[in-house]
Amino acid sequence: MEVRASRTPALHQLSGWRRRVKSLNGWQIASALAAVISLIPLMFILVHLAEPASDTWKHMADYLLLPYITRTLLLMLGTGALTLLLGIPAAWLTASCAFPGRKIIEMLLALPLAIPGYIMAYSYAGLLGSGIMNLAGLSAVLSFALYPYVYMIARSAFLQQSASLREAARSMGLGQGGAFWRISLPMARPAIIGGLALVMMEVINDYGAVKYYGVPTFTAGIFRAWFSMDDLNAAVRLSACLLLVVFALLSLERYQRGAARISEVRTHAPARIQLQGLKAFAALAVCALPVLAGFLLPAVKLLHWNFQADSPDYVNLANALKNTLFLAAAAAALCVCVALLLAWTARISHEQKAHLSVRLATLGYAVPGAVIA
C-alpha cells in the first residue's frame, strides 16, 4: 500500500481504482447485477418520491394512512404470534422426539404452503361463515397458511443442535422442559426470528384475503391509490411507507442474528426422546392440529365445492395446472441460480462490497409484490 513519491495523487487514485476493478471477479460482478435488478423497483420509488405530493396523497394521509398502519401492524402481530404457537411445538416434537406417525406428520406439516392465503381465507369463510371475517379471524387463517415457514426453519435449527449440549444440560439437573426453554429454544432463536420475518412479509404482501375479509391493509391501499384513484404518485408514497416497515423488520432480524451468533460442532446425532402412550398421543395431536387447520379442512371444503360445480372444467384446469407448473419451475430455477450465485460469492470473497450486494439482493424478497408491480 505504499505510494511512490513521483506519482501524482490522481494517478494513484486511478491505479487504485484499477486494482480494485481487477480484484472484482466475475462472481462478484454477477452478484452485484442480481442485486441491482432486484432493487430496480426501489429506485423507481425513490425517483417518484421526488415529485411533489398529489392531492390524492394528501387525501389518503388525512383519511386512510393511520387505519392502514394500525391494521397492518395488528395483523402482523396476530399472525406472527399464532405461527409461533403452531410452528415451534410441532418443530421441536418432530425434531427431538420419537412417536408413532412422526415421519408422516413431519412431511404433512409443510403442506399448507401449497394453499395460497387467499384460497385459505375463502375456504374458511365457506366453512365457518362470515363470523370469522375480521382482523382476528384473518390472523388465524393466515397463520394456518404461513406457520410452515416457522416450522421448517425451527425444525432444521433444532435438528442441528448438538445432543451433547442437551445431555450436558440434563446432567446438570435441567428437566426436559428446562432444557427446551433454556438451551434449545434460545439456540434456535435466530432461525425462528428469520422464519417469523418471512411470515410477516407474506402478511404484508397479501392482497386477496385482506380484501375479501374487509381488513384493508397497506397493500390494499397501494392498489386503491393506483387503481381506484388512478394516482401513481400516492401509490409510490404508500409503497415507501411500507418499505420503511419492511426495512425495520429486516434490521431487527439482522440485529437479532448479529447479537446471537451461535456456532457449534455436531458431535453425534442426538438421541430422540422416546414418547409412549398418552404422551405419544399428545405429541401426535399437537402436530396434527396445524395439518388439520392448514391443510385438511380447507382441502375438504375445496373438494366439496368442486363436486358441487356443474361440470368441472377439466380442460381449463389442466391448462391452468400446466401454466402454474411451468411458472413455478421457471421461477424456482431462476431463484436457485441467483441464490447459488449469491451464496458462492459470499463464500469466496470476504470483502464488504460482496456482502453488501448479497444483502441488498436479499432485500428483493422483502419488497412486496404490490410495490414491484
Partner 1 sequence: MAWQGCATPGKQQAEPEKVVNIYTHRHYDTDQQLFDAFEKQTGIKVNVVKAADDELINRMESEGPNCPADLLITVDAGRLYRAQERGLLQTVTSPSLDAQVPANLRDPQGHWYGLTRRARVIAYSKDRVKPADLSTYEALADAKWKGKVLVRSSDNLYNQSLMASILSYNGEEATLGWAKGIVANMAREPKGNDRDQVKAIAAGEGDVALVNTYYIGLLSTSKDEAERQAAAAIRIFFPNQEGRGTHVNISGAGIARFAPHPEYALQLLEFLTGKEAQSAFASANFEYPVNPAVEADSLLKSWGTFRSDTLNLSVLGKLNKDAVQIFDKAGWK
Q: Which of 166, 224, 237, 301 touches partner 1 (CB under 8 A)?
A: 224
Judged by CB under 8 A, the chain residues 311 through 330 that form the site for partner 1 are 313
For partner 1 (CB under 8 A), the number of binding residues is 29
Residues 151/90, Cβ–Cβ less than 8 Å:
yes
Closest CA to 204 of 83, 76, 118, 114: 76
C-alpha distance from residue 196 to each of 91, 111, 191, 250 (Å): 14, 18, 9, 11
Closest approach of partner 1 to the CB of residue 42, in Å: 19
What does the per-residue mask of binding to partner 1 show for 173-212, with x meaning CB under 8 A?
--------------------------------------xx
Q: Which of 6, 228, 263, 352 touches partner 1 (CB under 8 A)?
A: 228
Q: What does the alpha-carbon distance between residue 324 and residue 305 come to, in Å, rounded to a whole number?
A: 21
Q: What does the alpha-carbon distance between residue 348 and residue 335 come to, in Å, rounded to a whole number?
A: 20
Q: What does the alpha-carbon distance between residue 216 and residue 68 come to, in Å, rounded to a whole number?
A: 7
Q: Which of 13, 23, 25, 130 touches partner 1 (CB under 8 A)?
A: 130
Closest approach of partner 1 to the CB of residue 367, in Å: 19
Residue 309 interacts with partner 1 (CB under 8 A): yes or no? yes
**What sign for the dihedral angle of Cα 119, 124, 129, 134?**
negative
Closest CA to 84 of 191, 165, 162, 208: 191
Residue 216 interacts with partner 1 (CB under 8 A): yes or no? yes
User: Could you identify the residue written with the cell 426436559?
Assistant: 176
Output the nine-digit C-alpha cell for 20.
Answer: 480494485
Closest approach of partner 1 to the CB of residue 293, in Å: 21
Q: Which of 50, 63, 177, 268 touches partner 1 (CB under 8 A)?
A: 63
Q: Which of 64, 150, 203, 234 touches partner 1 (CB under 8 A)?
A: 64
Q: Which of 34, 93, 120, 220 touches partner 1 (CB under 8 A)?
A: 220
C-alpha distance from residue 185 to each of 85, 126, 167, 190 (Å): 13, 37, 15, 10
Q: Which is nearer to partner 1, 166 or 224 (CB)?
A: 224
Residues 357/32, Cβ–Cβ less than 8 Å:
yes
Q: Which is nearer to partner 1, 182 or 304 (CB)?
A: 304
Q: Which is nearer to partner 1, 68 or 180 (CB)?
A: 68
Closest approach of partner 1 to the CB of residue 37, in Å: 18
Judged by the rule CB under 8 A, the positions of this chain that interact with partner 1 are 56, 59-60, 63-64, 125, 129-130, 133-134, 211-216, 220, 223-224, 226-231, 308-310, 313
